[in-house]
A and B are shown apart, each in its own frame.
Chain A
């Protein structure tokens, strides 16, 4: 590793960030398991909610970052926006996978079934499929500029599709619990549960930032290698 001031500062940020995120995740895990009060009807299994719902919100933030990256790439044509888009799409898919795995684990004891074709479950699944397609498309286009443009366009289409997917599937009967945060009257969390919930979300957002940053640097290095290779070959 070279030791230019910029590289060493980036290393410092990386180490400090990693330590911070590990500490936050430990606190959040502890809080979700031991600090939060036990939910009356669902019992222990309800605690998965602190990571299930927050992973969903984090995935959505990542996909939004991907959308921003797509738009900025189309407008500005700077590779770094394409790197942001692919990094956040991959991290978003990872968090989305967590949602799809933890959901059924919770649903089995509470609803008695693993899966139901309800609006939120189904739209989360379709969202996951859309971004899997986005990542697949990227692996199948060879030219890097072309790849950036076409995947940016597909990413924009995919993100615009999300509210429409949700609206269309909402016609089907909804079994998913109503939103407990920002819901209507009658919804809401115990203050302590709310505090744990937000701690978990902040921890996951930190993890997301760390992962996206690492993935972004990997993409930048790949780009550099590619450019150096071209330089060597032309000499």
Chain B
């Protein structure tokens, strides 16, 4: 069975599991909303300052949400004892990761696209004219988060204190994504908006480097 087909089957399985339980998306959206509201208490969110700080806060909230949301990706397989059957499936190990990365990317993007307008209203920034470019940044940044996060969640399930371990491993590793995405988003929300192509390029490089790395290490992470 080829890689794409294997990954598609895993993706379909992940989506089915989530849409039956419907627990991941709702909790993540509420969590990010909470963070955005709590952040706004620490300074005046309608001021011009918010254009400078807002995008960083937004991405920080997404990153924190990601570090919680990516937790079940492998934890669920482990607690249900389904990892062994996944391993035995006649598909490449990387297909399992690719399917899970795609599913996590989809869930995170869905949550982000829902939260973006809420953020724009609360922080008084206009996103309509730059919506296309914003979606591109969200996609590239979130792909980086999902790729590294999915691999690291396969690592953290083996550790004690795993709920704390994933953020600890993931957050420093995502520094480039945080910086680049926040910079590009801030550029797009500025008046007049500018598209920072250097930042987009960095996100593309990050995604390519870590997708390749994930492909290389996938089989070792799924060993018995």
Contact = CB atoms under 8 A, between A and B. Distances in A.
Contacts of B220: 74, 149, 152-153
Interface string B146-188: 0010011001001111000100110011011001100100000
A164 B155 CA distance: 22
| Chief secondary structure at chain A's binding surface | helix
B195 to A, nearest CB: 15
Contacts of A168: 175-176, 179-180, 202
B213 A160 contact: yes
A130 B173 CA distance: 7
Nearest to B205: A164
Given A74-B220, A154-B169, A164 B213 contact: no
Contacts of B213: 156-157, 160
Given A130-B173, A136-B168, A157-B213, A167 B155 contact: no
A137 B156 CA distance: 8
Main DSSP-derived SS at the B contact region: helix
| Interface size classification for chain B | 20 to 34
Contact of B210 (A133, A137, A160): A160
Interface in A129-147: 129-130, 133, 136-137, 140-143, 146-147
B168 A167 contact: no
A140 B199 CA distance: 35
A198 B155 CA distance: 40
A171 interface: yes
A143 B158 CA distance: 9
Contact of A167 (B165, B173, B202, B217): B202
B211 to A, nearest CB: 12
A50 B183 CA distance: 35
A140 to B, nearest CB: 4
B172 A130 contact: yes
Contacts of B183: 171
Contact of B179 (A133, A140, A146, A171): A171
Contact of B172 (A126, A140, A146, A153): A126
11 contacts: A130-B173, A137-B159, A143-B158, A150-B158, A152-B220, A153-B220, A164-B202, A165-B175, A167-B202, A169-B175, A171-B179
User: Which 4 pairs from chain A and chain B are nearest by CB?
Assistant: A168-B176, A168-B179, A164-B176, A140-B159
